[in-house]
Structure 1
Amino acid sequence: MKILIVEDQQEIAQLIEQTLVREGFSCHIANDGLTALTVFKQQQPDLVILDLMLPGLDGLEVCTRIRQQPDNKDPYILMLTARGEEIDRVIGLSTGADDYLVKPFSPRELVARVRALLRRSLRHGVQEVDQIYRTKHFTVDLAQHTATRQLDSQGSDLLDLTTLEFNLLATFLSYPGRVWSRTQLIDKLWGNDFFGDERVVDTHIRRLRKKIEPDTANPTFIKTVVGVGYKFEDENL
Protein backbone atom coordinates (compact mmCIF):
# COMPACT_ATOMS: atom_id res chain seq x y z
CA MET A 1 0.00 0.00 0.00
CA LYS A 2 1.42 3.39 -1.07
CA ILE A 3 0.75 6.54 0.93
CA LEU A 4 1.38 10.14 -0.13
CA ILE A 5 2.02 12.51 2.80
CA VAL A 6 1.30 16.17 1.95
CA GLU A 7 2.54 18.30 4.84
CA ASP A 8 4.56 21.53 4.73
CA GLN A 9 5.98 21.18 8.25
CA GLN A 10 9.00 18.94 7.71
CA GLU A 11 9.14 17.57 11.27
CA ILE A 12 5.50 16.50 11.18
CA ALA A 13 5.89 15.00 7.70
CA GLN A 14 8.90 12.95 8.80
CA LEU A 15 7.14 11.81 11.98
CA ILE A 16 4.16 10.59 9.95
CA GLU A 17 6.48 8.88 7.48
CA GLN A 18 8.50 7.12 10.20
CA THR A 19 5.33 5.99 11.96
CA LEU A 20 3.80 4.50 8.80
CA VAL A 21 7.01 2.97 7.46
CA ARG A 22 7.31 1.07 10.77
CA GLU A 23 3.83 -0.28 10.04
CA GLY A 24 4.94 -1.58 6.66
CA PHE A 25 3.62 1.15 4.34
CA SER A 26 5.50 2.74 1.43
CA CYS A 27 5.48 6.54 1.81
CA HIS A 28 6.32 9.60 -0.25
CA ILE A 29 6.35 13.19 1.03
CA ALA A 30 5.29 16.40 -0.73
CA ASN A 31 5.68 19.75 1.05
CA ASP A 32 3.28 21.85 -1.04
CA GLY A 33 0.14 21.47 -3.11
CA LEU A 34 1.63 21.64 -6.61
CA THR A 35 4.32 19.11 -5.76
CA ALA A 36 1.64 16.87 -4.24
CA LEU A 37 -0.32 16.78 -7.52
CA THR A 38 2.83 15.91 -9.47
CA VAL A 39 3.81 13.13 -7.08
CA PHE A 40 0.23 11.86 -7.04
CA LYS A 41 0.24 11.38 -10.83
CA GLN A 42 3.61 9.63 -10.68
CA GLN A 43 3.02 7.35 -7.70
CA GLN A 44 -0.76 6.69 -7.84
CA PRO A 45 -1.00 6.18 -4.06
CA ASP A 46 -3.71 4.18 -2.32
CA LEU A 47 -4.14 6.86 0.34
CA VAL A 48 -3.27 10.57 0.64
CA ILE A 49 -2.67 12.19 4.02
CA LEU A 50 -3.38 15.81 3.20
CA ASP A 51 -2.74 18.86 5.38
CA LEU A 52 -5.41 21.53 5.06
CA MET A 53 -3.04 24.53 5.34
CA LEU A 54 -0.41 24.36 2.60
CA PRO A 55 1.65 26.98 0.75
CA GLY A 56 0.40 27.71 -2.76
CA LEU A 57 -2.54 25.39 -3.32
CA ASP A 58 -4.24 24.60 -0.03
CA GLY A 59 -5.45 21.14 0.98
CA LEU A 60 -9.04 21.78 -0.13
CA GLU A 61 -7.93 22.67 -3.66
CA VAL A 62 -5.55 19.69 -3.84
CA CYS A 63 -8.35 17.38 -2.69
CA THR A 64 -10.73 18.80 -5.28
CA ARG A 65 -8.20 18.42 -8.12
CA ILE A 66 -7.42 14.83 -7.17
CA ARG A 67 -11.12 13.98 -7.26
CA GLN A 68 -11.44 15.66 -10.68
CA GLN A 69 -8.85 13.39 -12.32
CA PRO A 70 -10.87 10.38 -13.58
CA ASP A 71 -7.95 8.74 -15.36
CA ASN A 72 -5.96 8.34 -12.16
CA LYS A 73 -6.42 6.10 -9.15
CA ASP A 74 -9.15 7.33 -6.81
CA PRO A 75 -7.39 7.18 -3.43
CA TYR A 76 -8.72 7.52 0.07
CA ILE A 77 -7.97 10.97 1.47
CA LEU A 78 -7.31 11.64 5.16
CA MET A 79 -7.30 15.39 5.78
CA LEU A 80 -5.21 16.94 8.58
CA THR A 81 -5.82 20.30 10.17
CA ALA A 82 -4.81 22.23 13.26
CA ARG A 83 -8.32 23.62 13.46
CA GLY A 84 -11.21 21.62 14.87
CA GLU A 85 -14.15 23.86 14.08
CA GLU A 86 -17.23 22.20 12.63
CA ILE A 87 -17.19 24.31 9.45
CA ASP A 88 -13.69 23.13 8.53
CA ARG A 89 -14.73 19.52 8.88
CA VAL A 90 -17.80 20.05 6.71
CA ILE A 91 -15.82 21.85 4.00
CA GLY A 92 -13.12 19.19 4.01
CA LEU A 93 -15.59 16.35 3.59
CA SER A 94 -17.55 18.21 0.93
CA THR A 95 -14.47 18.42 -1.31
CA GLY A 96 -14.04 14.66 -1.26
CA ALA A 97 -12.04 13.80 1.86
CA ASP A 98 -12.89 10.41 3.38
CA ASP A 99 -11.84 11.17 6.93
CA TYR A 100 -10.65 14.09 9.03
CA LEU A 101 -7.99 14.19 11.77
CA VAL A 102 -7.31 17.24 13.95
CA LYS A 103 -3.77 18.12 15.09
CA PRO A 104 -2.25 17.30 17.45
CA PHE A 105 -2.90 13.57 17.11
CA SER A 106 -1.15 10.51 18.46
CA PRO A 107 0.75 8.11 16.17
CA ARG A 108 -1.57 5.35 17.37
CA GLU A 109 -4.67 7.27 16.27
CA LEU A 110 -3.08 8.06 12.89
CA VAL A 111 -2.27 4.40 12.23
CA ALA A 112 -5.78 3.36 13.29
CA ARG A 113 -7.35 5.83 10.85
CA VAL A 114 -5.04 4.79 8.01
CA ARG A 115 -5.65 1.08 8.54
CA ALA A 116 -9.41 1.60 8.76
CA LEU A 117 -9.45 3.46 5.45
CA LEU A 118 -7.28 0.94 3.64
CA ARG A 119 -9.31 -2.00 4.98
CA ARG A 120 -12.27 -0.53 3.15
CA SER A 121 -10.39 -1.00 -0.11
CA LEU A 122 -9.49 -4.59 0.72
CA ARG A 123 -13.00 -5.35 1.95
CA HIS A 124 -14.58 -4.10 -1.26
CA GLY A 125 -12.20 -6.03 -3.47
CA VAL A 126 -14.12 -9.27 -2.87
CA GLN A 127 -17.75 -9.77 -3.76
CA GLU A 128 -19.65 -12.30 -1.66
CA VAL A 129 -21.93 -13.76 -4.37
CA ASP A 130 -22.36 -13.88 -8.15
CA GLN A 131 -25.34 -11.54 -8.30
CA ILE A 132 -26.81 -9.24 -10.91
CA TYR A 133 -29.12 -6.37 -9.96
CA ARG A 134 -31.28 -4.75 -12.64
CA THR A 135 -33.71 -1.88 -12.81
CA LYS A 136 -35.11 -0.09 -15.87
CA HIS A 137 -32.06 2.13 -16.31
CA PHE A 138 -29.24 0.30 -14.49
CA THR A 139 -27.51 -3.08 -14.31
CA VAL A 140 -24.90 -4.01 -11.72
CA ASP A 141 -22.99 -7.29 -12.14
CA LEU A 142 -21.13 -8.16 -8.95
CA ALA A 143 -19.16 -11.04 -10.47
CA GLN A 144 -17.90 -8.95 -13.41
CA HIS A 145 -17.72 -5.79 -11.28
CA THR A 146 -19.48 -3.76 -13.98
CA ALA A 147 -22.23 -1.17 -13.82
CA THR A 148 -24.12 0.02 -16.90
CA ARG A 149 -26.79 2.63 -17.53
CA GLN A 150 -29.45 2.15 -20.19
CA LEU A 151 -29.68 5.12 -22.54
CA ASP A 152 -32.83 6.43 -24.19
CA SER A 153 -31.49 5.42 -27.59
CA GLN A 154 -31.63 1.76 -26.47
CA GLY A 155 -27.87 1.63 -26.11
CA SER A 156 -26.00 1.31 -22.81
CA ASP A 157 -23.20 3.20 -21.15
CA LEU A 158 -20.53 1.52 -19.00
CA LEU A 159 -20.18 3.59 -15.82
CA ASP A 160 -16.70 4.50 -14.59
CA LEU A 161 -17.17 4.07 -10.84
CA THR A 162 -14.75 3.78 -7.96
CA THR A 163 -15.05 0.65 -5.84
CA LEU A 164 -17.00 2.48 -3.17
CA GLU A 165 -19.33 4.10 -5.72
CA PHE A 166 -19.91 0.70 -7.32
CA ASN A 167 -20.83 -0.87 -3.98
CA LEU A 168 -23.05 2.06 -3.10
CA LEU A 169 -24.96 1.72 -6.37
CA ALA A 170 -25.22 -2.06 -5.89
CA THR A 171 -26.63 -1.49 -2.42
CA PHE A 172 -29.27 0.88 -3.78
CA LEU A 173 -30.21 -1.48 -6.63
CA SER A 174 -30.50 -4.44 -4.27
CA TYR A 175 -33.42 -2.70 -2.50
CA PRO A 176 -35.00 -0.11 -4.86
CA GLY A 177 -37.28 2.25 -2.97
CA ARG A 178 -35.82 1.45 0.42
CA VAL A 179 -34.86 4.43 2.57
CA TRP A 180 -31.31 4.14 3.93
CA SER A 181 -30.00 6.22 6.80
CA ARG A 182 -26.34 7.24 6.82
CA THR A 183 -25.71 4.79 9.66
CA GLN A 184 -27.24 1.92 7.69
CA LEU A 185 -25.18 2.72 4.60
CA ILE A 186 -22.03 2.87 6.71
CA ASP A 187 -22.83 -0.51 8.27
CA LYS A 188 -23.55 -1.99 4.84
CA LEU A 189 -20.50 -0.61 3.06
CA TRP A 190 -17.84 -0.35 5.78
CA GLY A 191 -19.07 -2.35 8.77
CA ASN A 192 -16.72 -2.25 11.74
CA ASP A 193 -13.97 -0.78 9.55
CA PHE A 194 -15.58 2.68 9.63
CA PHE A 195 -13.72 5.32 11.62
CA GLY A 196 -14.77 8.90 10.99
CA ASP A 197 -17.61 11.32 10.33
CA GLU A 198 -20.84 9.76 9.01
CA ARG A 199 -21.32 12.72 6.65
CA VAL A 200 -18.66 11.19 4.45
CA VAL A 201 -21.66 9.29 3.04
CA ASP A 202 -22.97 12.59 1.64
CA THR A 203 -19.68 13.09 -0.20
CA HIS A 204 -19.90 9.74 -1.95
CA ILE A 205 -23.58 10.26 -2.75
CA ARG A 206 -22.70 13.53 -4.49
CA ARG A 207 -19.93 11.88 -6.46
CA LEU A 208 -22.18 8.99 -7.54
CA ARG A 209 -24.93 11.40 -8.57
CA LYS A 210 -22.50 13.21 -10.86
CA LYS A 211 -21.95 9.96 -12.73
CA ILE A 212 -25.53 8.66 -13.01
CA GLU A 213 -27.91 11.61 -12.76
CA PRO A 214 -29.00 13.64 -15.82
CA ASP A 215 -29.31 16.67 -13.54
CA THR A 216 -27.53 16.56 -10.18
CA ALA A 217 -29.48 19.59 -8.95
CA ASN A 218 -32.73 17.64 -9.42
CA PRO A 219 -31.84 13.96 -8.91
CA THR A 220 -33.98 11.42 -10.73
CA PHE A 221 -32.64 8.25 -9.12
CA ILE A 222 -30.93 8.94 -5.78
CA LYS A 223 -33.42 10.94 -3.73
CA THR A 224 -32.73 12.67 -0.43
CA VAL A 225 -35.22 11.85 2.31
CA VAL A 226 -35.01 14.88 4.57
CA GLY A 227 -34.14 14.03 8.14
CA VAL A 228 -33.63 10.34 7.34
CA GLY A 229 -31.17 9.59 4.54
CA TYR A 230 -31.40 8.45 0.91
CA LYS A 231 -33.39 6.14 -1.34
CA PHE A 232 -33.00 4.91 -4.92
CA GLU A 233 -35.96 5.19 -7.26
CA ASP A 234 -36.14 3.39 -10.62
CA GLU A 235 -38.62 0.97 -12.12
CA ASN A 236 -38.01 -2.74 -11.60
CA LEU A 237 -37.79 -5.03 -14.62
Structure 2
Amino acid sequence: MGLLSTVLVKSYVEFWGRKWNIQDISAVVVLLALHCLCLFAPFHFNWGAFWVAMALYLLTGLGVTLSYHRNLAHRSFTLPKWLEYSFAYCGVLSLQGSPIEWVCTHRYHHQFTDTGKDPHSPIKGLWHSQMGWIFDSSYRFGQCGGLKNVEDLKKQLFYRFLRHTNLLHSVLLGGLLYAAGGFSFLVWGMGVRTVLVLHNTFLVNSVGHMWGKKPWNTGDMSRNN
Protein backbone atom coordinates (compact mmCIF):
# COMPACT_ATOMS: atom_id res chain seq x y z
CA MET A 1 0.00 0.00 0.00
CA GLY A 2 1.42 3.39 -1.02
CA LEU A 3 1.99 6.31 1.32
CA LEU A 4 -1.02 8.26 0.01
CA SER A 5 -3.30 5.24 0.38
CA THR A 6 -2.02 4.66 3.91
CA VAL A 7 -2.70 8.28 4.87
CA LEU A 8 -6.18 8.20 3.35
CA VAL A 9 -7.11 4.95 5.08
CA LYS A 10 -5.75 6.22 8.40
CA SER A 11 -7.69 9.49 8.06
CA TYR A 12 -10.86 7.59 7.15
CA VAL A 13 -10.55 5.27 10.14
CA GLU A 14 -9.71 8.12 12.52
CA PHE A 15 -12.73 10.12 11.36
CA TRP A 16 -15.42 7.44 11.00
CA GLY A 17 -14.05 4.78 13.33
CA ARG A 18 -13.92 6.93 16.44
CA LYS A 19 -16.62 7.30 19.06
CA TRP A 20 -19.26 9.88 18.09
CA ASN A 21 -21.17 11.82 20.73
CA ILE A 22 -24.43 13.73 20.45
CA GLN A 23 -22.64 17.03 19.83
CA ASP A 24 -20.77 15.58 16.85
CA ILE A 25 -23.90 14.02 15.37
CA SER A 26 -25.83 17.27 15.84
CA ALA A 27 -23.10 19.18 14.02
CA VAL A 28 -23.31 16.80 11.05
CA VAL A 29 -27.10 17.07 10.89
CA VAL A 30 -27.13 20.88 11.13
CA LEU A 31 -24.39 21.47 8.57
CA LEU A 32 -25.85 18.93 6.16
CA ALA A 33 -29.27 20.59 6.45
CA LEU A 34 -27.78 24.04 5.80
CA HIS A 35 -25.93 22.86 2.69
CA CYS A 36 -29.06 21.10 1.43
CA LEU A 37 -31.03 24.34 1.85
CA CYS A 38 -28.54 26.04 -0.47
CA LEU A 39 -29.57 23.67 -3.28
CA PHE A 40 -32.95 25.42 -3.36
CA ALA A 41 -31.44 28.91 -3.68
CA PRO A 42 -31.61 29.24 -7.51
CA PHE A 43 -35.29 28.25 -7.48
CA HIS A 44 -36.34 30.51 -4.61
CA PHE A 45 -34.54 33.74 -5.38
CA ASN A 46 -36.08 37.14 -4.82
CA TRP A 47 -34.49 40.43 -3.92
CA GLY A 48 -36.12 40.61 -0.52
CA ALA A 49 -34.62 37.26 0.48
CA PHE A 50 -31.26 38.27 -0.99
CA TRP A 51 -31.01 41.51 1.00
CA VAL A 52 -32.14 39.80 4.19
CA ALA A 53 -29.34 37.28 3.65
CA MET A 54 -26.80 40.06 3.05
CA ALA A 55 -27.88 41.94 6.19
CA LEU A 56 -27.61 38.80 8.29
CA TYR A 57 -24.29 37.96 6.63
CA LEU A 58 -22.92 41.31 7.78
CA LEU A 59 -24.33 41.03 11.31
CA THR A 60 -23.28 37.45 11.95
CA GLY A 61 -19.94 37.98 10.22
CA LEU A 62 -19.24 40.85 12.60
CA GLY A 63 -20.36 38.62 15.43
CA VAL A 64 -17.59 36.17 14.55
CA THR A 65 -14.77 38.50 13.49
CA LEU A 66 -15.32 41.46 15.80
CA SER A 67 -16.84 39.74 18.83
CA TYR A 68 -15.73 36.11 18.98
CA HIS A 69 -12.30 36.69 17.49
CA ARG A 70 -11.01 40.13 18.40
CA ASN A 71 -13.05 41.06 21.45
CA LEU A 72 -13.48 37.75 23.28
CA ALA A 73 -10.66 35.47 22.13
CA HIS A 74 -7.84 38.03 21.93
CA ARG A 75 -9.22 40.77 24.18
CA SER A 76 -7.97 43.31 21.63
CA PHE A 77 -10.40 45.92 22.94
CA THR A 78 -13.18 46.34 25.46
CA LEU A 79 -16.80 47.30 24.95
CA PRO A 80 -19.66 48.27 27.24
CA LYS A 81 -21.24 45.03 28.39
CA TRP A 82 -24.51 45.62 26.55
CA LEU A 83 -22.61 46.11 23.29
CA GLU A 84 -20.25 43.19 23.94
CA TYR A 85 -23.21 40.91 24.56
CA SER A 86 -25.07 42.21 21.50
CA PHE A 87 -22.19 41.44 19.15
CA ALA A 88 -21.64 38.07 20.82
CA TYR A 89 -25.29 37.22 20.24
CA CYS A 90 -24.82 37.99 16.55
CA GLY A 91 -21.98 35.49 16.61
CA VAL A 92 -24.27 32.83 18.05
CA LEU A 93 -26.53 33.24 15.02
CA SER A 94 -23.61 32.30 12.74
CA LEU A 95 -23.97 28.69 13.94
CA GLN A 96 -20.26 28.44 14.74
CA GLY A 97 -20.93 27.46 18.32
CA SER A 98 -21.29 29.38 21.54
CA PRO A 99 -18.79 32.09 22.52
CA ILE A 100 -17.29 29.82 25.19
CA GLU A 101 -16.59 26.97 22.77
CA TRP A 102 -15.44 29.16 19.88
CA VAL A 103 -13.04 31.16 22.04
CA CYS A 104 -11.73 28.01 23.73
CA THR A 105 -10.94 26.45 20.35
CA HIS A 106 -9.30 29.59 19.01
CA ARG A 107 -7.11 30.15 22.04
CA TYR A 108 -5.86 26.57 21.84
CA HIS A 109 -5.23 27.10 18.13
CA HIS A 110 -2.88 29.97 18.92
CA GLN A 111 -1.28 28.19 21.85
CA PHE A 112 -0.52 25.05 19.81
CA THR A 113 -0.52 26.39 16.24
CA ASP A 114 0.07 23.66 13.64
CA THR A 115 1.04 21.02 16.16
CA GLY A 116 -0.75 17.84 17.16
CA LYS A 117 -2.80 19.79 19.70
CA ASP A 118 -4.00 22.43 17.25
CA PRO A 119 -7.78 21.83 16.93
CA HIS A 120 -7.89 22.57 13.19
CA SER A 121 -4.43 22.46 11.65
CA PRO A 122 -3.99 21.24 8.05
CA ILE A 123 -1.22 18.92 9.27
CA LYS A 124 -4.13 16.47 9.63
CA GLY A 125 -5.33 17.22 6.11
CA LEU A 126 -7.37 19.79 4.20
CA TRP A 127 -10.69 18.18 5.12
CA HIS A 128 -9.85 18.23 8.82
CA SER A 129 -8.81 21.89 8.82
CA GLN A 130 -11.82 22.98 6.76
CA MET A 131 -14.68 21.06 8.38
CA GLY A 132 -13.65 17.72 9.85
CA TRP A 133 -12.58 19.19 13.18
CA ILE A 134 -16.11 20.46 13.84
CA PHE A 135 -17.41 16.90 14.00
CA ASP A 136 -14.94 15.77 16.67
CA SER A 137 -15.65 17.67 19.87
CA SER A 138 -13.68 15.16 21.95
CA TYR A 139 -10.56 15.98 19.93
CA ARG A 140 -11.19 19.71 20.09
CA PHE A 141 -11.79 19.95 23.81
CA GLY A 142 -10.02 16.83 25.06
CA GLN A 143 -6.53 17.30 23.62
CA CYS A 144 -5.68 20.43 25.54
CA GLY A 145 -7.61 20.28 28.79
CA GLY A 146 -11.19 21.18 27.96
CA LEU A 147 -12.62 24.59 28.72
CA LYS A 148 -9.93 25.61 31.18
CA ASN A 149 -8.73 28.52 29.04
CA VAL A 150 -12.04 30.41 29.04
CA GLU A 151 -12.61 31.02 32.74
CA ASP A 152 -13.19 34.71 31.96
CA LEU A 153 -16.26 33.79 29.91
CA LYS A 154 -17.47 30.94 32.11
CA LYS A 155 -17.79 33.38 35.01
CA GLN A 156 -20.48 35.30 33.15
CA LEU A 157 -24.07 34.07 33.26
CA PHE A 158 -24.81 35.38 29.76
CA TYR A 159 -22.14 33.23 28.13
CA ARG A 160 -23.09 30.17 30.15
CA PHE A 161 -26.68 30.67 29.00
CA LEU A 162 -25.61 30.92 25.35
CA ARG A 163 -23.56 27.76 25.65
CA HIS A 164 -26.56 25.74 26.80
CA THR A 165 -29.04 27.30 24.36
CA ASN A 166 -26.76 27.87 21.37
CA LEU A 167 -28.76 26.04 18.70
CA LEU A 168 -32.14 27.27 19.94
CA HIS A 169 -31.45 30.86 18.86
CA SER A 170 -30.86 29.90 15.24
CA VAL A 171 -33.97 27.73 15.25
CA LEU A 172 -35.97 30.74 16.43
CA LEU A 173 -34.36 32.92 13.78
CA GLY A 174 -35.25 30.37 11.12
CA GLY A 175 -38.85 30.40 12.32
CA LEU A 176 -38.98 34.20 12.18
CA LEU A 177 -37.53 34.22 8.66
CA TYR A 178 -40.07 31.69 7.47
CA ALA A 179 -42.91 33.64 9.06
CA ALA A 180 -41.70 36.88 7.49
CA GLY A 181 -40.97 35.74 3.96
CA GLY A 182 -41.70 32.07 3.52
CA PHE A 183 -39.33 29.41 2.23
CA SER A 184 -37.22 31.84 0.19
CA PHE A 185 -36.28 33.80 3.31
CA LEU A 186 -35.38 30.54 5.05
CA VAL A 187 -33.25 29.34 2.13
CA TRP A 188 -31.34 32.58 1.72
CA GLY A 189 -31.39 33.91 5.28
CA MET A 190 -30.42 30.64 6.94
CA GLY A 191 -28.98 28.37 4.26
CA VAL A 192 -26.97 30.54 1.88
CA ARG A 193 -26.00 33.17 4.43
CA THR A 194 -24.85 30.72 7.09
CA VAL A 195 -22.88 28.53 4.68
CA LEU A 196 -21.06 31.57 3.29
CA VAL A 197 -20.09 32.81 6.76
CA LEU A 198 -19.04 29.32 7.84
CA HIS A 199 -16.78 28.64 4.88
CA ASN A 200 -15.28 32.13 4.91
CA THR A 201 -14.21 31.40 8.48
CA PHE A 202 -13.06 27.85 7.76
CA LEU A 203 -10.91 28.92 4.81
CA VAL A 204 -8.69 30.83 7.22
CA ASN A 205 -7.99 27.55 9.01
CA SER A 206 -7.32 25.54 5.86
CA VAL A 207 -6.24 27.63 2.87
CA GLY A 208 -4.74 30.29 5.14
CA HIS A 209 -2.31 27.69 6.46
CA MET A 210 -1.56 25.89 3.19
CA TRP A 211 -1.19 28.33 0.29
CA GLY A 212 0.14 31.85 -0.06
CA LYS A 213 3.21 33.93 0.68
CA LYS A 214 5.16 33.50 3.88
CA PRO A 215 7.20 36.70 4.33
CA TRP A 216 7.96 36.04 8.00
CA ASN A 217 9.32 32.98 9.76
CA THR A 218 6.54 32.57 12.30
CA GLY A 219 7.34 28.98 13.18
CA ASP A 220 3.98 27.74 11.92
CA MET A 221 2.17 27.24 8.60
CA SER A 222 0.17 30.50 8.53
CA ARG A 223 0.39 32.44 5.27
CA ASN A 224 -0.71 35.64 3.58
CA ASN A 225 -3.19 35.14 0.74
Q: Which bracket does the TM-score occupy, shorter chain normalised?
A: under 0.3
Q: Identify the structure with bigger relative contact order (alpha carbons < 8 Å, sequence gap 6+).
A: 2
User: 1 or 2, which has the higher strand percentage?
Assistant: 1
TM-score by length of 1: 0.25
Q: TM-score, normalised by structure 2?
A: 0.26
Is the helix fraction higher in 1 or 2?
A: 2
